[in-house]
Amino acid sequence: MKYEKLLSFITLTGIVFFGMGLLLFPLDTSKSCVGGINLCINAVFPSLFPFFVTSSMLISTGAISRLADILSPVGKALFGISGKGFSAFLIGILGGYPVGVRTAVQLFEEGHISRKECQRLLLFCNNSGPAFILGVVGVGLLGESRLGVILYTAHILSAILIGFLLHKLSPEQFDLPTPQTVHKDKVSRAQFGFVTSFITSVTSAMGAMANVCGFVIFFGVFVTVLHKSGIINTVSALITAIFGEYLAEKGLLNGIITGFFELTGGISALSGADLYSSMLTSGFLLGWAGLSVHFQAMSFASRAGLKSRGYFVAKLFQGGLSSALLWLYFRLFPMSQGAFSYDYPYYYGLDPEMYAGFLRGNLILTGFFMVLCLILYFSIVFYQKIRYNKDND
């Protein structure tokens, strides 16, 4: 009861604080809201929507089953999960936040994986995609694609290590779908042709995008209120008083606090810090992902009745592990010092060159996934036709 009362008090205080911020800083919050909408239109939508559609089609057409047959040995060896579960992880590291979580939840809802397996997947399948890290962070902020590759490698390795450690520390055998579920899946695939699957995938992806964009806009406004009210400066001064001047001197403190809530704003706030410190901090923030991304993920998980137990701890651990891997890499291969080369205007539009690189990389990955989806789908149709002909000979 005490915990519930404390949570209710904190929630009420947060709502009152946010409402007062909207009243006291109407111009800044309205600009931030418009910036969030622009960000959704210019970056979030072209980045996630094609992957949402593609992942849904892989599942609804049954192509995910063929992909699972190929990936099953890898999934069992690394994470102790099924091939379909591993496909959700793979789609996530290509599509970015929160594609992996949505795919895992959809697999669970349609009976392809068990609840326990989906709960395990939530701990390490919500990762950033290469288009964001290589295009926005690497080229746009760090000014060098090679650094983006290093960041992405550390980010994915940290997710793989978490999944591997979970498997070794808790080698649980996950339940397989029941025969009734398998039969239902076959009937569903027989009823859903390619056109129907495409229509269903697009409409469901639009609903998912509404969830994601809603959190992006809200947290953009919320972080603006924190900045304008002086809360972030107060917290920065408090942390500096307790832990010393190191983070403040390096220009990292504002980025870390902002990144706790929203990833893009946190990384862009590192502008001006030395390159080595910026890389380690960016690695942590990418692993943590920010509360905005977490609530996007939980919006899908909670809909399916899944719990967030262990999720936030796993993301914090992933951030720390990613930074540790980057530290180890730069100890072995020292880098020349510099600073962030681009001052990203938080939520007020994307630099055209940075956006072009980001969108180009995303379109390449999306095209690859769409081709893979078509090949797998038509291979299933062809295989079923051969079996039908043999059965009727």
Domain ranges of the chain: 30-384
201-239 per-position pLDDT tens digit: 788 888 888 888 888 888 888 888 888 888 888 887 787
| Residues linked to residue 274 through DSSP beta bridges, in sequence order | 339
Query: Residue 190 is encoded by which pair of tokens?
Result: 């027989």
Query: Residue 166 is encoded by which pair of tokens?
Result: 């979970």
Query: Residue 266 is encoded by which pair of tokens?
Result: 């946190």
pLDDT at 256 over 80: yes
Q: pLDDT > 70: what percent of the chain?
A: 75
pLDDT at 327 over 60: yes
Closest CA to 167 of 156, 177, 159: 159
Q: Is the dihedral angle over the CA atoms 284, 288, 290, 296 positive or is it negative?
A: positive
34-83 per-position pLDDT tens digit: 888 887 887 778 777 887 887 788 777 777 777 777 778 888 888 988 88
Cβ pair 273, 252 in contact under 8 A: yes
Q: What is the dihedral of CA 269, 270, 273, 274, to 10 degrees?
A: -160
Tell me what pLDDT residue 247 has: 65
pTM value surpassing 0.85 = no
267-326 per-position pLDDT tens digit: 888 866 778 888 899 999 999 998 989 998 998 888 888 888 889 999 999 999 999 999
Cβ pair 94, 365 in contact under 8 A: yes
Closest CA to 270 of 260, 258, 255, 256: 255
Mean pLDDT, range 160-181, rounded to an integer: 74
On average, the pLDDT of the chain sits at 77
Please report which confidence band the pLDDT of residue 344 belongs to, taking 50, 70 and 90 as the band edges.
Answer: very low
Please report which confidence band the pLDDT of residue 392 belongs to, taking 50, 70 and 90 as the band edges.
Answer: low
| Residues linked to residue 339 through DSSP beta bridges, in sequence order | 274
Mean pLDDT, range 248-261, rounded to an integer: 79
Instruction: Tell me the C-alpha distance between 67 and 374, whole Å.
Output: 12
Please report which confidence band the pLDDT of residue 187 belongs to, taking 50, 70 and 90 as the band edges.
Answer: very low
Q: Residue 230: phi, psi to the nearest 5?
A: 85, 5
Q: Is the dihedral angle over the CA atoms 315, 156, 143, 280 positive or is it negative?
A: positive
Please report which confidence band the pLDDT of residue 346 belongs to, taking 50, 70 and 90 as the band edges.
Answer: very low
Mean pLDDT, range 148-175, rounded to an integer: 87
Tell me what pLDDT residue 348 has: 36
Tell me what pLDDT residue 178 has: 53
354-369 per-position pLDDT tens digit: 555 555 555 555 565 5
| Distances, alpha carbon 183 to alpha carbons 59, 69, 180, 190, in Å | 15, 18, 5, 11
Tokens 């917290």 locate to: 235
| Region class of 305: left (phi > 0), else alpha (psi between -120 and 50), else beta | left
**98 preceded by cis ω (within 30°)?**
yes
What Rg value do the Cα atoms of the chain yield, rounded? 22
Task: Report the first-to-last Cα separation within the chain, whole angstroms.
Answer: 70
Please report which confidence band the pLDDT of residue 328 belongs to, taking 50, 70 and 90 as the band edges.
Answer: very high
Cβ pair 362, 48 in contact under 8 A: no
Quick count: other Cβ atoms within 10 Å of Cβ 90? 17
Tell me what pLDDT residue 366 has: 58
